[in-house]
Structure formats: C-alpha cells, structure tokens
Amino acid sequence: MKKLRNFKIYLVIFALLIFIALIIFLQNSPSKSEVDLKERVLKLTLNIDSLDNVNITEMRVSYGYTEKGNEESDYMLKLYSKNEIKEFYFPISFHILADPPIEIFNAKKILFIPYEDGLHLIEIFHNDSLIGIFQAGKLLCNKNKICDGFESYYSCPIDCSTYEKDRVCVPADDGYCDPDCDNKDADCIK
Ligand SMILES: [Ca+2]
Ligand SMILES: [Ca+2]
C-alpha cells in the first residue's frame, strides 16, 4: 500500500516537472506574430520619370519583411499571380527635401511587396493610366538550367540551388555554404 502511495507521489512530481518544462519552452519560443511577419518578399526597384516613362531596374525574391501599400497614392502595381490579381499602391515624389524643395525629373523607388506563387505579369498605373507592362514570370524564372538574371532560389528553385550566389541568403542546413549568407548559414562556419 505504501509503495502505491509513493508511486502516486512520484507520478505527481513527474507531471509537475513536465508542466514547468513546457511553460519554460513556450516562453522561449518566438511568438507567433514574430514568425508571421516574415514571408517571401519581392524587392522591386523602379525608375520613373515625371513623363511616366517607367523601367524595372532590378527585382529579386527573398525571405523577409514586406511593406503595406498606401491606398491614397497615385501610383499602383497590378500583380498577376497564379491564383489572384493584387493591387499595390505607392507614392512617388519628384522633389528633394530642401528649402526651397528641389524639383527632379527622375525618381528611383524600391518596394518590398509580398510575393505570391506564379507571379507572371506586373502592370504599372499612374492615376488609372497604364504606363508599363512587364513579363515578370520570365524575369524571375526563365527555366534555362542556369541561375541568371533576376532569379533567386525563392522565385526559381528549378534553376537556382539553395547555395547559389544569387544575392539572396538561404540559410539551409544542406551541407553547402551559401556565399550570400556570411555567418547566417551554419554551413559557412563549419
Ligand atoms: Ca535561369
Ligand atoms: Ca544565395
């Protein structure tokens, strides 16, 4: 009888220890919101002049933080992905902050937009007028078995390996050092 009582006490202590360990584990793991903030991000560099000539000078898909569009802005991107069409509004200023402000005719804009699977077309609008069309699908993945152009592992895993020199760090535990990572990839430290 005494043995059974001792066993019950041990069981209670054991359960208590598990409970405490669980609480410590939950407190140390990153909160859900922290993890959710990071996603695949399309970094888009635009060159626009005041006559509405527009060019994409660089685009690259990586993993990180995205920005929110500003619905009250004059410029808009229409992003055609596999399953949906999304609009992203953004402002452009043709003035440099000075006293008095200096007018410029050409502006560079870098945007960090959420990347959706199968993004194949980007249209750029200024006040509802279409000013540029870009075949983003071929720019982000041309499937020629070489990691080239604006491709990265995140937009084109068929051409780019996890350890490709594609200006994007993929800290994968795959035994290869990604040269874009420095010490963020554990394989580069070994
Ligand atoms: Ca390629
Ligand atoms: Ca890389």
> Which residue ranges make up each domain of the chain?
2-30, 36-140
What pLDDT score does 139 carry? 95
Q: Which ligand approaches the C-alpha of residue 141 most closely?
A: 1
Q: CA-CA distance, 76 to 74, in Å (whole number)?
A: 7
Classify residue 140 by its DSSP letter. Answer: H
What pLDDT score does 16 carry? 80
Two structure tokens written together for 28? 């140390």
What pLDDT score does 35 carry? 47
What pLDDT score does 22 carry? 74
Q: Which ligand approaches the C-alpha of residue 151 most closely?
A: 1
pTM of the model: 0.76
Q: How far is CA 43 from the centre of its chain?
A: 7
Asked if 132 and 124 count as a contact pair (C-beta separation under 8 A), the reply is yes
Q: Which ligand approaches the C-alpha of residue 169 most closely?
A: 2
Peptide bond into 157 cis (omega under 30): no
pLDDT in tens, 83-131: 899 999 999 999 998 999 999 999 999 999 999 999 999 999 999 999 9
What pLDDT score does 33 carry? 46
Q: CA-CA distance, 131 to 142, in Å (whole number)?
A: 24
Q: CA-CA distance, 44 to 92, in Å (whole number)?
A: 14
The low-confidence residues of the chain, meaning pLDDT below 50, are 30-35
Task: List residues, by chain if needed, whose CB lies under 5 Å from ion ligand 2.
Answer: 164, 166, 168, 178, 180
Token pair 């200023």 is found at: 93
What pLDDT score does 25 carry? 66
